[in-house]
Structure 1
Amino acid sequence: MATVLALSGSPSPASRTARLAELAAADLRARGHRVHSLALRELPAEPLLAARTADPSIARAVRLVAEADALVVATPIYQAAYSGLLKVFLDLLPRHGLEGKPVLPLATGGSAAHVLALDYALRPVLTALGAQVAPGRYVLDRELGTAPDGAAFLAGDSAAALAGTVARFASALAGTAQLAAA
């Protein structure tokens, strides 16, 4: 099975985006994949912004990306674009830092007006880094909730839609399906 790194590009400590990434990660774990999570907001700001890749925390994060077989990249959408935090981190990766890696993009946002940000903002950057970008999923903030036990959940049709997206990605990781743009 694959080793998957789930990146959360949200700067918020109470992040819906991180909850979405964790839902996808839990599904992938249930399918037998090894999944590690990395919240980019936990990286030290000064070395991150100064692109000091020799900093131990930054070097470890870049190494986790390099060692992963695949990635889940989750971001909130602000002003029709992925988060600046994610952008700063992606800029630290080598030119072909995602070469051949399957990547599942996920996004959260307050309005359906930003649904195309996955394809028109995030996908080109991931592709430029060499990723094999899977069809992603955009989820409205209001569809993400937290159960009394603290577990994240998706409301309405979003749960089934995310499950289908992750299932297709998992099939591609297992070699039983091709990644293809939606």
Structure 2
Amino acid sequence: MATVLSLSGSPSATSRTARLLRHLDARLTAQGHEVIPLDVRTLPATALLGADFSHPAIVRAKALVEQADGVVVGTPVYKAAYSGLLKSLLDLLPQYALTGKTVLPLATGGSVAHVLAIDYALRPVLSSMGASHIVQGWFTLDKDITVEPDGGVRVAAGAAEALEQVVDQFSAALGPHPTVLAAAS
């Protein structure tokens, strides 16, 4: 199957966003994909903020993006947009780093007022980076994500079903694209 980079743009060590991504990673792994988690907050701040393209951690992050067939991008919504931390990493990636990749944008936030952040803030930047296919994203309310004592998460029933559906659509989209097959013939 495919290699998937699961990218969390949350600056918080106790992030619901990151924990939700790790929960969804398990579903993708069960479907046969190799999932590589990357929490942007673990990258050195000096490298991110100083735009140190040659820093080993940034070089490694670029390599992970390059090697992935698909990328799940998760972010909390702040001020109606994706996190600045996520933006810092995206700015250090090559202009067309997502060329040929299938991308699943996910966001979390405290209010349904932020639902459109995926389509109006995150999707355009992912598209400008050359993503070949951006599947339908999903916004999950913070109140629908409960962190369990073991560090796992429980997602409210309606939100869980919707997330499973978008993850399954992403998983299916990771297969060969008809246009790629036609070009190879």
Relative to the length of structure 2, the TM-score reads 0.92
| 1:22-171 equivalent positions in 2, closer than 5 A | 22-131=22-131, 132-171=133-172
Secondary structure at 2:168 match in 1: helix
Structure 2 spans left out of the alignment, 5+ residues: 180-185
> Alpha-carbon deviation of 1:92?
0.7
Deviations 1:144-169 (CA, angstroms, capped at 9, x unpaired)? 01223332120130111100111111
Q: 1:154 to 1:140 in 2, by over 3 A?
A: same
AA matched with 1:102:
T
Deviations 1:126-182 (CA, angstroms, capped at 9, x unpaired)? 00000121101100001001223332120130111100111111111134899xxxx
Residues 4, 34 of structure 1: 8 Å contact kept: yes
Q: 1:49 to 1:114 in 2, by over 3 A?
A: same
Secondary structure at 1:78 match in 2: coil
Residues 168, 177 of structure 1: 8 Å contact kept: no
AA matched with 2:138:
R
Secondary structure at 1:75 match in 2: strand
AA matched with 1:139:
T
> Alpha-carbon deviation of 1:21?
1.0
Deviations 1:89-137 (CA, angstroms, capped at 9, x unpaired)? 0011111111120000010000000000000000000000001211011
Deviations 1:63-101 (CA, angstroms, capped at 9, x unpaired)? 111111110000000010000000110011111111120
> Alpha-carbon deviation of 1:23?
1.8
Name the residue aligned to 1:11. 11
- The number of equivalent residue pairs is 178
AA matched with 1:142:
K
Residues 5, 70 of structure 1: 8 Å contact kept: yes
Structure 1 spans left out of the alignment, 5+ residues: none
Report the Cα distance in structure 2 between the residues aligned to 1:160 and 1:35, rounded to whole angstroms.
Answer: 21
| Identity value in percent | 55
Residues 3, 70 of structure 1: 8 Å contact kept: yes
Name the residue aligned to 1:173. 174
Residues 106, 136 of structure 1: 8 Å contact kept: yes
Secondary structure at 1:166 match in 2: helix
Secondary structure at 2:139 match in 1: strand
Q: 1:50 to 1:176 in 2, by over 3 A?
A: closer
Report the Cα distance in structure 2 between the residues aligned to 1:152 and 1:177, rounded to whole angstroms.
Answer: 36
Report the Cα distance in structure 1 between the residues aligned to 2:5 and 2:17, rounded to whole angstroms.
Answer: 15
